[in-house]
Structure 1
Amino acid sequence: MTREPITRYGSMAQLLHWCTAILVLVAFFYGPGGPEQRVYSSVHEFDRKLHETLGLGVFALTLIRLLWKTIDTRPETPPISRWMVVIATIVQGVLYLLLLALPLTAITGAWLEGHPLTLVAGAQIQPLLGASHEAGAVFASIHKWLGDAIMWLAGLHACAALLHHLVLKDNVLTTMLPRWLPVGRARTGR
């Protein structure tokens, strides 16, 4: 009895991937941004709370994804050039690094500036670090740069998936899509 090759990521891997992508996108748009006075003003309180809540969700999902990757089976890599595999591996590694670094820099910056994390439900996580306003501002600035970087890299990641599907006509995109989506399997013969 021969086993069918795995052609898609499992349902849990797909769910974690797409939930992470959605949370990152929404967190980016709800990030109040700007100087500390703007971020912590009452006008932007809901946006900040939502941004912080989503950021903690991204951090938790990323940890779960990394743990899940250790036990999950992966689909076979389609026949693509070695350089594409190397670039994809690097991009995936950098995306995971950013998914961890973004919440950590935000938390560190807020705490160093003396601000608690405030969640949408009203819960607060008080600073666990001693105040150092200048260092906090540096971490907040790094957080902004990393936020822009993840959006650019995720956009390139999405464009690469579309390139694989529409131009190269391989199954890279469909490996991360649920079976119920009406996206046909790419033709493997050229």
Structure 2
Amino acid sequence: MKSSATRYGSIAQFLHWCTAIVVLVTFIYGPGGPEQRVYSSVHEFDRRLHETLGLCVFALTLIRLLWRVYDTRPETPPVSRWMAVMAVAARWMLYLLLLALPLTAIFGAWLEGHPLTLIGGRDIPPLLSTSHGAGSVIASLHTWLGDAIMWVAGFHAFAAIFHHVLLKDDVLIAMLPRWFPSGRARTGR
């Protein structure tokens, strides 16, 4: 369950891939657009699913950060300094976005006077007094951050594939479950 010197453990892998899938589905079901469109009855299901999954992303991220404190990380292969710096920057940018996206959604909705609308008909009413202008700015920031996380995650995925295909190291394999075919036989792992 814990990470070894060469691979992430099953818990870290589960949290990583679960977060990636939930973020992608959340992005796809984001109703997007102006406030009237987002809160129209036509987009009720998409908005409820998007907001519910957004809270799941927030919870998964908190769990991942707590697990990171407890778990060890596999050793990173030797790479050039710029690659190491980019890897750390991308990782922490992803964590920052994974926290900022749900928070900007929550505060943007509440400041605009909207409840959080969750699957199952659950609503969480605004816990802040309305400031529509501030809420609108934060909601716009949420949209920009949503696009940014897709770009950073795409870069992250590209880098993992680059390591696997061109550098032929174990960066990608370290995060894949043992049952997943990696394309290369590994011994002693």
TM-score range for the pair, normalised by the shorter chain length: over 0.9
Aligned structure 1 segments of 4 or more residues deviating by more than 6 angstroms: none
Identity of aligned residues (%): 75
Q: Does 1:91 align with 2:90?
A: yes
SS of equivalent to 2:119 = coil
Matches of 1:174 and 1:114 in 2, distance apart?
Answer: 46
Which amino acid is 2:150 matched to? M
User: 1:131 aligns to what?
Assistant: 130
Deviations 1:3-31 (A, max 9, x none): xx621100000000000000110000100
User: 2:139 aligns to what?
Assistant: 140
Which amino acid is 1:127 matched to? P
Which amino acid is 1:96 matched to? Y
User: 1:43 aligns to what?
Assistant: 42
Matches of 1:72 and 1:65 in 2, distance apart?
Answer: 10
- Runs (5+) with no aligned partner, structure 1: none
- Runs (5+) with no aligned partner, structure 2: none
Which amino acid is 1:175 matched to? A
TM-score normalised by the chain length of structure 1: 0.94
With 110-119 and 176-185 compared, the bigger mean Cα shift is at 176-185
SS of equivalent to 2:113 = coil
TM-score normalised by the chain length of structure 2: 0.94
| Aligned residues between the structures | 183
With 5-14 and 102-111 compared, the bigger mean Cα shift is at 5-14
User: 1:183 aligns to what?
Assistant: 182
Q: Is the 8 A contact 1:165 1:186 kept in 2?
A: no
User: 2:69 aligns to what?
Assistant: 70
Q: Is the 8 A contact 1:170 1:186 kept in 2?
A: no
Q: Report deviation, 1:79.
A: 1.6
User: 1:159 aligns to what?
Assistant: 158
Matches of 1:128 and 1:54 in 2, distance apart?
Answer: 20
User: 1:113 aligns to what?
Assistant: 112
User: 2:54 aligns to what?
Assistant: 55
Q: Residues 141 and 186 (structure 1 numbering): CA distance in 2 closer, same or farther, change over 3 Å?
A: farther
Q: Report deviation, 1:185.
A: 4.3
User: 1:10 aligns to what?
Assistant: 9
SS of equivalent to 2:121 = coil
Matches of 2:175 and 2:185 in 1, distance apart?
Answer: 13
